[in-house]
Amino acid sequence: MHADKIIVTGASGSMGAAAAEALARQGRPVVMACRNAAKAEAVRADILSRVPDARLEIRQLELSSLASVREFAAGFGPGEIAGLFNNAGVISRGYARTADGLEHSFAVNYFGPFLLTNLLLHALADGARVVNMVSLTCRFVSVSPEALQPEEGEFSRLGTYARSKLALLHFSQELARRHPELRVNVADPGIVNSNMIAMGKWFDPLADLLFRPFCRKPEKGVKPALAALEATESGLLYVGRRNDPIPPRYRDPALQSRLWTATQEILDSL
């Protein structure tokens, strides 16, 4: 089977929809992995209105549910996937645990992509691209195996989000080491004008007026990830028009191995 499908998680959101449309314009078949099927159908119809020959397939995926991740991954055969773009993410407004007992931000931003990628290894063709969306907030935090399951008193909206994205960045490097047949890279979109940056506070309307006009449009924010989906090597951080080796401050093989082992132990216990 010729591998040509590109999976985009969160494809009904602004960034995911921009990625799906750009890939469709390249003639690539896209699997839109989305939590909300009705919203995904509306996005699909919108893209088709501009790209009539787009090949867009919607499949349900709720990254906060381990059962949903397992069901989604089971739907693919050997070697049929050319690329996996782990785009979906969330900044949780308050502390919450999923039905599996995981803190919500870590469940969506880290555990879900970790499990999904590993369960799809059979379906990823040799040379397949895996692109994980990280964040500039990673530079302000650190992460350890003990931080993967924060308690309520340890939660902060941006801090927990940043740690979950930093864990994903570390996972990306360990994945590349364990699976050299893949091309594994990360992309940072910068600050993008999307619903994700709404804080649910009284100052949101003021921020919309003064801040959002200076944010990147989703079509621009997704360009680093699209470039990463064409990469011929691993271990690069795509930001803006640049791609450079992941900075030394994020390169810690011993920590990355411990995080992988701890993550697998947590998932195996659920």
Tens-place pLDDT, residues 57-94:
999 999 999 999 999 999 999 999 999 999 999 999 99
The model's pLDDT over 97-141, given as tens digits with 9 standing for 90+, comes to 999 999 999 999 999 999 999 999 999 999 999 999 999 999 999
Strand pairing category for 236-239 and 242-245: antiparallel
Distance CA 193, CA 189 (A): 11
pLDDT tens-digit readout, 194-229 = 555 444 553 444 334 333 343 558 889 999 999 999
5-269, what's its fold?
Answer: Rossmann fold (3.40.50)
What is the average pLDDT value for the chain, to the nearest integer?
92
156-171 pLDDT tens trace: 999 999 999 999 999 9
Long-range contacts of 262-268 (CB under 8 A, 24+ apart): 262/145, 262/148, 263/110, 263/111, 263/114, 263/145, 263/148, 263/167, 263/171, 266/102, 266/111, 266/148, 266/149, 267/66, 267/111, 267/114, 267/115
Q: Is the whole model's pTM more than 0.75, yes or no?
A: yes
CA separation for the pair 99, 232 (Å, rounded): 39
